[in-house]
Amino acid sequence: MSIKDVKKQLGIVPQELAIYEDISASQNVKFFASLYGVKKSEINEKVENALKKVGLEDRKDDKPSTFSGGMKRRLNIACAIAHSPKLIIFDEPTVGIDPQSRNHILDSIKNLRDEGATIIYTTHYMEEVQQICDRVIIMDGGVVLLNDSLDDILEHYSNSNYQVRVDQQFSPAVLDEIRELTNVEEVNQKDEFEIIFSMGEESMPINAVLEVLIKFNLNITSITMVKKNLEDVFLLLTGKKLRD
């Protein structure tokens, strides 16, 4: 297979919009499809199908200059998929759009995946990754920190966060003593009545934490266990310090 043939199997959705504002939506998609070598006998059908997949079939004759930001993002995707590529690269396709367009874009990407396309998806929104991806690579400063299947990542970092509420304000000494317990990884104070902490993989029973609270004469009003998600894993690996 030649380089030219390989390029025909590739679709790219850049973060910066790559559409022409002064021609119609269908003309935009048709132009990009022609660049990828779609046959004239197939191009109209391919254009209609791409616009339908992103929910713009009713606006095919309108110019992007009349579109909302979310609609332009969806047109950006249509331009990249009209030639039915086998590999599609999405670079933060949901930045700065309304919730409805974001939901439609995610559904469209999942449909492309389910139809057999390979998706490479770059984003800072970890909840989107959990919806779309089977395999995850977490990078920081150009360094790969994690490369594994989503299921294995969530299983490996399956230790839970606990939220414990008490009936009165407590001193910093309570947090300090909980931090000294074996396999307690992180302890924070959410407000004057709530403590949040996470346990390591080989965690001791939560009873040890409860004993600390009892020692300080704190009555527990509720205990909530929250499973870690991919965003928790991302922050654990890259840190919570603000970046420039």
DSSP string, 9-71: TEEEE-SS----TTS-HHHHHHHHHHHTT--HHHHHHHHHHHHHHTT-GGGTTS-GGGS-HHH
Other beta carbons within 10 Å of 175: 15
Could you tell me the pTM of the whole model? 0.77
Half-sphere exposure of 108 (CA within 13 A, CB side): 26
Amino acid identity, position 97? I
CATH class of 159-226: alpha beta
The domain made up of 3-133 has a fold known as: Rossmann fold (3.40.50)
Tokens of 178: 């909980």
What H or E segment, with its residue span, contains residue 146? strand 143-149
Q: What is the pLDDT along the chain (244 residues), one digit of tens a residue?
A: 788 888 889 999 999 999 999 999 999 999 999 999 999 999 999 999 999 999 999 999 999 999 999 999 999 999 999 999 999 999 999 998 989 999 999 999 999 999 999 999 999 999 999 999 999 999 998 999 999 999 999 888 766 778 899 999 888 999 998 888 877 877 888 888 888 887 765 555 678 888 999 999 999 999 888 777 899 889 888 886 666 5
Please report the pLDDT score of residue 200 as a whole number: 67
Distance of CA 12 to the CA centre of its chain: 18
Distances (CA, A) of 8 to 5, 35, 91, 163, 199: 5, 9, 19, 51, 49
- Nearest by Cα to 133 from 100, 71, 101, 90: 90
Please report the DSSP string for 161-228 in residue order.
EEEEEESS---HHHHHHHHTSTTEEEEEEEETTEEEEEE-TTPPPTHHHHHHHHHTTPPEEEEEEEE-
Q: Provide the residue ranges of all domains of the chain, joining segments of one domain with +.
A: 3-133, 159-226
- Exposure string of 59-85, with b = 16+ CB inside 10 Å and e = fewer, is bbeebbeebeebbbbbbbbbbbbbbbb
Task: Please give the DSSP secondary-structure letter assigned to residue 76.
Answer: H
